[in-house]
Amino acid sequence: MATRQPKVPTALSRSAVEIFAANDHMNQLLIEHLDPSAWRAKAPGNVRSIAAIFTHMHNVRAKWVRLTAPHLKVPTQLNRTHCTPQQARAGLAESAARCVEMLAEALAGGANPRVESFRPDGWAEPWPAGVEMLCYMLSHEAHHRGQVCMLAHQLGFPLPDKVMSGIWNWKKIWKECGSSGGPGFQGSDS
């Protein structure tokens, strides 16, 4: 599920856009290859379902956009108790597109940036817009991807090995997301 990537003026912006698009592609791969029975399966203890984890990821992205770049269209929240895998994939694609726009604007440079600071949460102090916001966003998502992989395995629905190793094939993922050369390579428009 590829999303259109905005034109961005700096190498840092371009890399941030490509990195976040690759990050979302990993989420999409997990949902696509997840056994449907695992979506709402209940693990022992007080643990979120896989459906709740993915809806949380989308809803947090929507919060980042609302707090950091309110001029962008804020994605609609997903309901963790009723969300289907297809709705989660569509919601994540939309929220990834808004996060990509937000990152492109935050890291584009110039005298009058549209995104000057990042608000990771409503109670948190804003940070100056910079690569740290990308790192925070990626860390949040990687944490939850790890939860999903572990939970699927614990519930008896392990993801296929090709998917588990595939989320580490960054060159392939970047190409599937429309980037020309993969990590560390700038396209011909540099």
CATH of residue 22's domain is 1.20.120.450
Query: Rounded to whole angstroms, how far apart are CA atoms 9 and 11?
Result: 7
Q: How many domains does the chain have?
A: 1
- In this predicted structure, the answer to whether residue 8 has a pLDDT above a threshold of 80 is no
For 38-67, what is the mean pLDDT? Answer: 95
CA 142, 173, 68, 136 torsion-angle sign: positive
Domain residues for the domain of 154 are 11-176
Please state the pTM of the whole predicted model: 0.88
Radius of gyration of the chain measured on its C-alpha atoms: 17
**Helices 131-154 and 50-68, packing angle to 10 deg:** 170
- Structure confidence at residue 7 (pLDDT): 45
